[in-house]
Chain A
Amino acid sequence: MNQPDPRRTARPRVQRGTFLRGMRVLARGAREEPRLFAWAVLGSAVYGAGTAGSGWLVGRVTQDVVVPALSGDAAVTAADVWLAGAALLAVGVVTVAGVLLRRIAAGATMYALQARYRRALARRYLDLPLAWHHSHPAGRLLATAASDVEATWQAMAILPFAMGVVVLIVIAGVAMVAADPVLGGIGLLVVPALVVVNALYSRRMSPRVRRVQRLRGEVSTVAHESFEGALVVKTLGLAGGEVTRFAREADRLRDANVAAGRTRGAFDPVIEALPQLGTLLVLAVGAARTASGDVGVGDVVQVAYMLSLLAFPVRAIGWTLAELPRTVAGDARLQAVLTEDATTPWGSRAAGPGRAPARPQGRGVGYHHPAPVPDPTDEDDAAPGAAAETTAAVPPAAQPARAPRPVLRDVDLEVTAGTTTAVVGGTGSGKSTLAGLLVRLVDPTTGTVLLDGVDVRELAEGELAGVAALVPQSTFVFDDTVRGNVALGLDADEVPAERRTSDDDVWAALRLAQADGFVAALPDGLDTRVGERGASLSGGQRQRLALARALVRRPRLLVLDDATSALDPAVERAVLDGLGAQGLGTTVVVVASRPATISLADEVVHLEHGRVVDRGTAAELAERDEGYRELVTAYARAARERAAAATEQGARA
């Protein structure tokens, strides 16, 4: 029990210092896209300065042009009026340029960061070992690449705006104080009030927003699981219970949203009211000061007008602060993947040269499933402002109290190069896991897997895949052409000519896999798109495509994981014979249960409860291994017994 509990260690504390941590994430983003970010900040600064400038100008124009003109001062000419208008327009145009630059560059920064992190995540997904993949739900990994990336960088589109607003506040503050220190001082009181409201708001909002995000995820998880199991739900009449389960989650989300809405709904009115109250105070005090002759009407107008200019943009600070919790939570999920130190450590050795059949071995191989890893930001936020819900109606899956069940224990395997070995065993005996270990889909938790005497972990990346090929029980078809699905990149120009796959090679592999017939019948032959958005293939067709995918690589070791069970035994025989006829020296390991397949094998390995219980020729095992006999002759015995019972019954009658 000295294994650290992943639920405890993998959970970063999100609540502390959200502001600092969020700003640190955004600063990293700025460093990663310095040019775009700089343009955005520049644009925003121009916008802030322009907006403040127009406020200042309005005050000056009022004082120097409008008031004298309306007071009948003949010194003000029409030309002065037009000049004032032109100056305001000029400032307006500069401001527009700033807005345009800010919006485009800030958006571009956000999208560039999204793209950068999505590329990085996809590369991580491709690099991380399959054991890691198996312990992380696919849905969550997809959500990380889609919505977590968005959540992390959303603030990046507003941050430059907020920075421009700071420029605006500073310039406006100076201008207000310059116009009149007393009125400016009153006006400036609004700024700290706004900052305080913004800070209070983001502090109050962040637990609520986090809770909403989490509950939204739960609603989606329940829906996803329920729809996935729709057939079971329907056939067991569970729909009513499922609707209750979903309604409970939907109601919790509703309550969380309403709780967040109570706070969010207060923010805008308060933020709007503060500058308005400031403006009114400036008017009241300003009137007294004009009466005493300390200031002019223009000065009062300038301070009041600048305050009203602040009202709308200052909200950008609140928006940014409100986004920070999402930034922090999103980034925590991104980093959980990006900084994951579980890698597939590739070695540097080359696989043996030549076309000779390979010799796979296992020495003391053991394997157990990794423990499922909880969501990195999944913490129990108690409902803010309400009593914590203590009773989750659906208890979460119990964590295994003991060490995970070993799937394989101390397995020794010797396969003679060039022979066919059948792996036979009961349900859950570890056959598929053994097949995956041979081609290094996963690494053993104990012991070693060797190929031609070399530990497969010492082989350089790509070496093993060049030698060994696995055809799994059920396969994945890419959203690509038939050619792309068979070649899987081996037809790319970068591949050295002697290894590059030609159309002839693809056809040859399809022929060998008995798939040439249905491919030829497809509308565009090899160019037909299959997979998600293409033509759908039947289970048997998919299996044959997977077989061709393996065969086109001319593997020296071919591992078939119950892959030919859907094929007619005659087809299966033809495939295996075809390998020999092509002069392909291939070692074959086949997971099988039907006697017809087993009879093709030179040697049989019998697995039970993750251990090798016997090995030898089919005849030897049939003679001495009772468990094996029970497995492969089960149908025959059942048939015999039934026949005997029938005869007996007949005799009695």
Chain B
Amino acid sequence: MSAAAPAPPAPAKPRGVIARARELAPEVARGLRMTLVLASITTLGRIVVPVAVQQTVDTGIRGPGGPDVGRVELVAGAAAVVVLVTAGTSWLVNYRLFRATEAGLASLRTRAFAHVHRLAVLTQGAERRGSLVSRVTSDVDTISTFLQTGMVVLVLAVGQLALATVLMFVYSWQLALLVLACFVPVILLRHRLQRPVARAYQGVRLRMGELLGSVSETVVGADVIRAHAASARTWRAVDAAVEAHRQQAVKAQVATAATFSVGVFVSGLVLALVVVAGTLLGIDGDITLGRMLAFLFIIGLFVMPVQAATEVLNELQNALAGWHRVVELIDTPVVVPDPDERDALDLPPGPVEVRLEGVGYTYPGTSRQVLRGVDLHLPAGSRIAVVGETGSGKTTLARLVTRLVDPDAGRVLLSGVDARRIREVALHRRVVTVPQEGFLFDTTVGENVRTGRPGATDDDAAAALRELGLGAWLDDLPDGLATAVGQRGERLSAGERQLVALARAHLADPDLLVLDEATSSVDPATEVRLQRALEHVLSGRTSVAIAHRLSTAEAADVVVVVDAGRVVEVGSAAELAGAGGPYSRLHRAWTAQHV
């Protein structure tokens, strides 16, 4: 077993699960009482046939006054009515359950989805993203599978077993004890037999994860594989993972088949025993022919619940595991919570002034403080550039200012208000970040730009691009604003994606714009042109540019130099270049490369 085997979910307290379910998906419980009443009526239909057999034989065919055909027809007719009525209630039960559970699960899905967007986006690495998607899709599906099929089977099976047991004792306590003596151990044993089956399936899921990982390399790594003719090693890896999955799945299948067969065997055994014991009892006059024959039909009622138990327990386990994963997601505390409505404030209008007071930050799960004791004042309306080596903490600084994270120590003030007290929606409408990876939605250039401001038109989008000096680029697109960008924008080059992201942010009309290496893939001439355009459109706003190219810093009013988690220099580019400090070193290296 690999060490990476996921720990089985903590055993749930059923009552806790149900209470939480009512809280998170109240629609599921709506009308449940009526559904249960209908379900109990439905179980009645299950014992109609054995009763009819008994009545037909004992009071009809072998009636005291000879065969009584009229009576049999009456019994059969009455039984047929019950069968039809309970078929109707059975359909109602199923449909009501579908309706209630689907309504509940749809809102559970949406709730989980909304929560993901409230969580800290920084913790969502590429691997985690896949698992987040599966929480709002397949994990919810496992819950619905159980609620819609497993639960019906379970409720009906319990009712059916109870009624069948009562009926058996009415007909013959001796045979009833015999039947129970055979089936009860199986039901108990099945629970135990279930454990290796569950383990085997856990192994299957694990192998499936490995299989998907290896197949994904053939797709995501296609370029590298092609460039280096590495397909042989890759398909060997895939073959190994596929074979490991197949073997484990067959193993699980054998375990399931073995458990299932136990049930089939016992029902065959019970049939033989009932015939023998019933006949012997009948010879002694302890049981009538009709009752004995009814037993043969009652045994059939035991087979279904016993056989289905395996599947249902499996589904129950999957559903509980799925439920736990969804609830765990919904219960993940929001690291950057929206302020309490009583404390909440809006950002004062106008360009934003930024003040950091003794700010420190350590990424969760790490021990290294990325920023320490940062005091910084960025005046409203100024253009600020933050420079420093990779890993110096400059991106973290940007995240603090835009409240993607909250500081562990100190506070961040935007226009004099603690960022933690500003309503999130209000904050992000006025404080906009352009990250380095210009993620685009799989639609057109125009629509991507328009996401910057709700209700914006294509003309607004075109204007935003032109104001940034990107008119020529737009005109050169084959379909202009209607050009499709592809998944993640991959039909555009990395630099072009950044242009669209920049226009999107510009259209949002922010009072504080944070550019986190937002033009890193853009060619120098375009970058310089953008820089000029930005100088124009940013006038009257505050902007913070995290720069890996010093050309950005040169254009700023204030340059902030970050080194090893501290702000080491603040001043104008011209002042700092001659100050002989860290900035002048960076400046010399830059000049050597580019000038």
Contact = CB atoms under 8 A, between A and B. Distances in A.
A589 interface: no
Contact of A70 (B239, B249, B271, B292): B292
B10 to A, nearest CB: 24
B339 to A, nearest CB: 15
Given A89-B268, A596-B592, A264 B501 contact: no
B49 A402 contact: no
B95 A265 contact: yes
A235 B289 contact: no
B444 interface: yes
B223 A472 contact: yes
A231 B435 contact: yes
A400 B443 CA distance: 11
Interface string B93-129: 1110111001101100110011011100100100101
Contacts of A111: 246, 249-250, 253
B275 interface: yes
Nearest to A284: B76
B246 A593 contact: no
Contact of B275 (A88, A104, A133, A465): A88
B375 interface: no
B260 interface: yes
A284 B80 CA distance: 11
Contacts of A287: 56, 60-61, 67-69, 72-73
A189 interface: no
Interface secondary structure of B, over-half rule:
helix
B106 A254 contact: yes
B238 A119 contact: yes
Contact of B433 (A235, A262, A475): A235
A522 interface: no
B219 A441 contact: no
Nearest to A553: B228
Interface in A316-341: none
A230 B116 contact: yes
A398 B227 contact: no
A119 B239 contact: yes
A290 interface: yes
A382 interface: no
B390 to A, nearest CB: 7
Interface string A394-408: 111111111111000
B1 to A, nearest CB: 15
Contacts of B253: 103-104, 107-108, 111
A518 interface: no
A637 B527 CA distance: 12
Interface string A84-97: 11101101110110
Contact of A107 (B49, B226, B250): B250
B368 interface: no
Given A95-B264, A254-B106, A476-B220, A123 B235 contact: yes
B370 to A, nearest CB: 14
B261 A54 contact: no
Interface string B489-503: 011111110010100
A584 interface: no
B238 A400 contact: no
B486 A372 contact: yes
A228 B275 CA distance: 65
A452 to B, nearest CB: 18
B523 A291 contact: no
B322 interface: no
A646 B471 CA distance: 29
Given A146-B212, A231-B439, A489 B232 contact: yes
Interface string A408-436: 00000000000000000111110010001
Interface string A52-73: 0010001001100111011100
A161 to B, nearest CB: 12
A219 B67 contact: no
Contacts of A630: 525
Contacts of A480: 237
A462 B229 contact: yes
A469 interface: yes
A221 to B, nearest CB: 8
Interface in A278-292: 279-281, 283-284, 286-288, 290-291
B215 A146 contact: yes
Contacts of A8: none
Interface residues of A, number: 184
Most buried by A among B45, B479, B523: B523
Given A280-B76, A290-B67, A397 B83 contact: no
A26 to B, nearest CB: 18
B98 A261 contact: yes
A441 B4 CA distance: 35
B588 interface: no
A117 to B, nearest CB: 9
A91 B239 contact: no
Nearest to A650: B574
A595 B591 CA distance: 10
B229 A461 contact: yes
Nearest to A248: B110
Interface string B202-218: 00000010011111111
Given A638-B528, A638-B551, A234 B246 contact: no
A484 B484 CA distance: 38
Contacts of A118: 211, 215, 238, 242
A283 B137 contact: no
Interface stretch (A13-21, A239-247, A506-514, A614-622): A239-247
A122 B218 contact: yes
A224 B131 CA distance: 10
B242 A220 contact: no
A533 B83 CA distance: 57
Most buried by B among A297, A475, A538, A569: A297
Interface in A468-506: 469-470, 472-473, 475-476, 478-480, 484, 488-489, 492, 494
Most buried by B among A130, A475, A494, A638: A638
B21 interface: no
B88 to A, nearest CB: 7
Contacts of A232: 435, 439, 451, 501
A318 to B, nearest CB: 14
Interface string B528-567: 1001000000000000000001110011000000000000
A118 B259 CA distance: 29
Nearest to A300: B61
Contact of A639 (B289, B504, B551): B551
A229 interface: yes
A454 B339 CA distance: 67
A398 B482 contact: yes
Interface string A122-149: 1101110010011001110110011000
Contacts of A308: 49, 297, 300
A631 B121 contact: no
Contact of A227 (B116, B216, B246): B116
Given A70-B279, A126-B225, A399 B484 contact: yes
Contacts of A27: none
B276 A400 contact: no
A177 interface: no
A203 interface: no
A609 B105 contact: no
B67 A99 contact: no
Most buried by B among A344, A426, A546: A426
Given A89-B268, A250-B109, A639 B595 contact: yes
Given A226-B113, A291-B67, 8 more contacts: A58-B271, A125-B215, A234-B404, A261-B95, A428-B473, A538-B390, A596-B592, A639-B551
27 contacts: A81-B276, A92-B268, A95-B268, A103-B256, A107-B249, A111-B246, A115-B245, A126-B235, A229-B439, A235-B434, A242-B113, A250-B110, A268-B90, A269-B86, A277-B83, A284-B73, A291-B66, A301-B53, A405-B478, A427-B522, A440-B226, A441-B226, A473-B494, A489-B230, A489-B233, A631-B524, A637-B528
